[in-house]
């Protein structure tokens, strides 16, 4: 036991001496006023995202702390970049074009003394922010418009959407801001209840984290489309396994689910179970892999040109009550997350494919925000990349492909369609 204590004390003592030595090594010497030598510039390499990598040799100073670089932007702001003395390269970002820039490269010692600056001339590749700005596309939607962009290098960008229109004879100017690092993104500006003849002027600006802002060439006068919620009073559902144009209706009455709940206008919340459930073998009697895909067929009662769909997920758990303020099953578990849409072409007797849509899990940490999104429902256009109405159709088909858990049991609370009567 004494030997163990002795080893422990010696370990503490050695660790203490090492800490003191290391502390002294990095201690700033306020009496040191001698600047370090300048780094020796060896060359640079343009990066694909618009930055450059500087290569250099260190000066021979014993108290060297870091290498720094700085340059003045087009907005007359100075950007600083730092690398420790452990590495012999330094990345510099924030360029807004592919012209010539002068970067000042210098060394800094532990006392904060700066060496003589070494001017370095670089020509970067096309910056990421400019590539994003050139990719922006604006298109009209239904009581909305949307903005698409590509961000190949997945840099953090801020998209400023400036739009203006006349409302009740008065001009309105608004700006929406979206931040993204995704390689591709689509964002909607919704709830524009305007006359189809009333234009919306849209201009997009793209900014990066270095304070650069580029105006996109995507400047449009858009005319948004109009639609309305199709009334469900005339809707009808086929019986289970009844086929329309060769496609059988699914079985949504498994466990506490009921198929009819899909079109009753009531959204499942908390312990008020109002949804349809398709479980293992419920539709076909086959094993687990026979449950998906399955099809929900709806007779709309008349002919409509469809524009978009809003689906509502199951919220409550089968095992008991779920408070309406908790996430419940939203964006997880058995809720459907991928589906195809069709309408019946009665001239050919075939189902006409419209689009495939995926419901993604929102990147939100707050459960209340998750509940708010789930309760509002998840919308999709019949033609996401080219918003327009479908052909006039009476029969609509929703083909469920998968759920969030990739499990056998699937659930869906409500289907709501928008469009206009033929």
Mean pLDDT over 35-51 rounds to 92
Mean pLDDT over 52-66 rounds to 91
Q: Do both 333 and 360 map to the same domain? A: yes
Model pLDDT for residues 229-247, shown as the tens digit of each residue: 999 999 999 999 999 999 9
d(CA 420, CA 297) in angstroms, rounded, equals 19
pLDDT band per the 50, 70, 90 thresholds, residue 15: very low
d(CA 66, CA 64) in angstroms, rounded, equals 6
Q: Do both 258 and 286 map to the same domain? A: yes
Q: Is the pTM of this model over 0.95?
A: no
Is residue 205 one of the residues assigned to a domain? Answer: yes
Is residue 35 one of the residues assigned to a domain? Answer: no
Spacing of C-alpha 133 from chain mean position = 17
d(CA 135, CA 129) in angstroms, rounded, equals 10
Q: Which domain holds residue 381?
A: 228-421
pLDDT at 54: 97
Q: Do both 154 and 298 map to the same domain? A: no
Q: Are 408 and 283 in contact (CB under 8 A)?
A: no
Q: Are 110 and 26 in contact (CB under 8 A)?
A: yes
Please give the structure tokens belonging to residue 12: 């503490």
Mean pLDDT over 158-163 rounds to 97
Mean pLDDT over 121-142 rounds to 94
d(CA 327, CA 329) in angstroms, rounded, equals 6
Q: Do both 261 and 410 map to the same domain? A: yes
- Of 222, 244, 273, which residue is a domain's last? 222
Model pLDDT for residues 237-293, shown as the tens digit of each residue: 999 999 999 999 999 998 889 999 999 999 998 877 899 998 765 444 443 333 689
Q: Do both 254 and 303 map to the same domain? A: yes
Q: Are 221 and 200 in contact (CB under 8 A)?
A: yes
Q: Can you name the residues that pair with 106 across neighbouring β-strands?
A: 68
d(CA 76, CA 65) in angstroms, rounded, equals 28
Mean pLDDT over 129-150 rounds to 95
Number of domains in the chain: 4
pLDDT at 291: 67
Write down how long the chain is: 422
pLDDT at 255: 85
Q: Do both 344 and 267 map to the same domain? A: yes
Q: Do both 91 and 159 map to the same domain? A: no
Burial environment of residue 413 by CB neighbours within 10 A (0 to 12, 13 to 18, 19 or more): buried
Backbone angles phi, psi at 28, to 5 degrees: -70, 130
């Amino acid at each position: 036991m004494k030997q163990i204590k002795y080893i422990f004390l010696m370990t503490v003592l050695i660790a203490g001496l090492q800490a003191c030595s290391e502390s002294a090594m990095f201690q700033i010497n306020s009496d040191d006023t001698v600047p370090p030598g300048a780094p020796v510039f060896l060359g640079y390499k343009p990066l694909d995202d618009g930055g450059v990598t500087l290569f250099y040799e260190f000066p021979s100073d014993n108290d060297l702390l870091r290498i720094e670089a700085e340059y003045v932007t087009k907005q007359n702001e100075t950007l600083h970049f730092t690398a420790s003395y452990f590495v012999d390269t330094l990345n510099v970002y924030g360029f807004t074009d592919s012209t010539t820039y002068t970067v000042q490269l210098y060394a800094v010692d532990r006392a904060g003394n700066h060496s003589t600056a070494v001017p370095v001339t670089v020509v970067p590749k096309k910056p990421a922010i400019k590539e994003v700005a050139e990719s922006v596309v604006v298109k009209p939607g239904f009581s909305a418009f949307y903005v698409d962009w590509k961000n190949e290098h997945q840099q953090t960008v801020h998209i400023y959407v400036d739009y203006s229109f006349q409302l009740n004879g008065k001009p309105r100017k608004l700006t929406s801001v979206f931040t993204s690092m995704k390689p591709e993104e689509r964002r909607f500006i919704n709830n524009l209840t305007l006359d189809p003849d009333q234009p919306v002027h849209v201009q997009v600006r793209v900014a990066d984290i270095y304070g650069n802002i580029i105006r996109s060439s995507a400047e449009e006068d858009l005319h948004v489309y109009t639609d309305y919620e199709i009334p469900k009073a005339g809707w009808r559902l086929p019986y289970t396994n009844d086929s329309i144009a060769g496609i059988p209706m699914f079985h949504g009455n498994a466990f506490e689910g009921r198929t009819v709940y899909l079109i009753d206008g009531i959204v499942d919340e908390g312990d008020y179970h109002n949804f349809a459930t398709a479980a293992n073998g419920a539709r076909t009697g086959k094993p687990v892999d026979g449950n998906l895909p399955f099809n929900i067929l709806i007779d709309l009662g008349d002919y409509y040109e469809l524009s978009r769909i809003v689906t509502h997920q199951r919220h409550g758990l089968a095992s008991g009550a779920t408070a309406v303020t908790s996430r419940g099953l939203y964006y997880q578990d058995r809720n459907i997350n991928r589906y195809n849409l069709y309408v019946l072409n009665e001239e050919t007797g075939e189902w006409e494919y419209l689009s495939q849509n995926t419901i993604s899990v929102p990147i939100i940490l707050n459960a209340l925000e998750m509940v708010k999104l789930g309760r509002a429902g998840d919308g999709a256009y019949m033609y996401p990349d080219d918003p327009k109405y479908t052909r006039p159709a009476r029969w609509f088909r929703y083909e469920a492909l998968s759920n969030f858990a990739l499990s056998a049991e699937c659930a869906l609370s409500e289907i709501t369609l928008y469009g206009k009567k033929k």
